[in-house]
Structure 1
């Protein structure tokens, strides 16, 4: 394993009964990068994330995070933001911060409180009184307040209004340590373009492309146009192969 790579994935495949969720995935995630895992719903993003964070253990191939298979150790160095609310609605923001502080040794309470102030989330606000977007922002704060080596963010801006997205991106840039990396999964391709260093295009369980944003936007109008071009190229190859078999 290259010492500068946080994650190395080799020939990873995952099948649910007769459905192929991931097929022969090969990826190397280096240190110090914000990487977009981009693709439509059903492309395999959530399956890949669940394998990385140890929620799915049955798969083919090899997955290493800092040279370790997904395990208790990798959970200690990985901050995970799920795509759904896991917080107790009876708690207020401060109680959530205290809970995470007790649970994670690398959690920084002062950093979490700073981010709450930045996003104007009252520490006394009970979750049941907060909007879905505000709860999502609090989830993100709780993930970013850890001193992790790898941050995995699953749809962190799906319920956040466009104005607040800029604030969210600012927090990610400010609070993620420089030698750590972020895997940011979303179907909102163009929305996350300004924050990303590299992008992974995932489609129907396959990696279509893995390249720097700078390189892609020099060739295409934006990331969405690049993604459509890659899907079009894949469909053309499939049509050509099918034609040869007729």
Structure 2
């Protein structure tokens, strides 16, 4: 089986800025991986390249066995860090929209997650709080029958009491042979579910490894290690 993600010499520029600077990274299936780093370290740009949203880059990129594009998009589910659903839509309409747009989408799984999150499918998005809307978007993203899930700051707008429920929902139907790559600043909240982490700095990998190995090597939690690396 090929790896879920394989990157070699990935470069993405915005004018004179190198958002990704010769990035090398390999991630296997069967893991929940935290993508960590300061603002401007390249996390969102990397996720957009992997999702096929950004195409103007150099280097070698393979995700779910393909270069980012039409073939990979059927195997990759991407949740961006900004809302993308129309304010006036009802939740049930959003589920129908995804069912029309994505061949490998399970509306029953989406409805199950909506119920798990305690949401009413008849509500309009404009009637919801930011945290409730994020739950809807997470439910839609995780209801796709994908091999790779890319989530950009999925719990950033959610109050601390709701974060654990959302993480339970994310893992609720995640298959053991898929890859979940999650970017976050809320490391303390995500650390219990992470198998490995990738710490980025200035468009490159500053540190990567299995969570248990890094804790044993450095003698601190991943949250504390992050603070030490970026202080």
Residue in 1 that maps onto 2:155 = 157
- 2:107 counterpart residue number: 109
Runs of 4+ more than 6 Å apart: none
Name the structure 2 match of 1:230: 229
Pick the aligned partner of 2:176 from 178, 184, 195: 178
Q: Give the paired residue count.
A: 230
Match of 2:68 in 1: 70
Q: Is the 8 A contact 2:117 2:165 kept in 1?
A: yes
Aligned to 1:32: 30
TM-score, scaled relative to structure 1: 0.90
- Give the C-alpha shift of residue 120 in structure 1: 0.7
The Cα shift of 1:14 comes to 1.5
Match of 2:74, SS state, is: helix
Q: Which has the higher contact order (CA 8 A, sep 6+)?
A: 2
**Residue 177 of structure 1 aligns to a residue in which SS?**
coil
Of 18, 40, 50, which residue of structure 1 is paired with 2:16? 18
| Residue number in structure 1 paired with 2:195 | 197
Conserved 8 A contact 2:95-2:140: yes
Post-superposition offset of 1:15 = 1.6
Give the RMSD, CA atoms, in angstroms. Answer: 1.2
CA positional deviation for 1:4:
4.2
- Cα distance per residue 1:59-83 (max 9 Å; x no partner): 1210011331111011111011011
Q: Per-residue deviation at 1:48?
A: 0.5
Could you list the per-position Cα deviations for residues 52-110 of structure 1 after superposition, in whole angstroms to 9, with x for gaps in the alignment?
A: 11111111210011331111011111011011111111111111111111111111111
Match of 1:243 in 2: none
Task: Give the structure 2 partner of residue 120 of structure 1.
Answer: 118
Contact 2:64 2:76 in 1 (8 A): no
Q: Distance in 2 between matches of 1:35 and 1:200?
A: 7
Q: Which runs of 5+ in 2 are unaligned?
A: none
Q: How far did residue 171 of structure 1 move?
A: 1.4
Query: Are the counterparts in 1 of residues 191 and 223 from structure 2 also a CA contact under 8 Å?
Result: no
Looking at structure 2, the residues matched to 21 and 126 of structure 1 have their Cα atoms a distance apart, in angstroms, of 37
> What is the CA distance between 1:221 and its match in structure 2?
2.5
Q: Which runs of 5+ in 1 are unaligned?
A: 233-246
The answer (yes or no) to whether the contact 2:117–2:169 under 8 Å persists in 1 is no
Rounded to whole Å, the distance in 2 between the matches of 1:206 and 1:189 is 19
Bigger CA radius of gyration? 1
Partner of 1:215: 213
Structure 2: how far apart are the matches of 1:123 and 1:14?
A: 39
Distance 2:102 2:56 in 1: 26
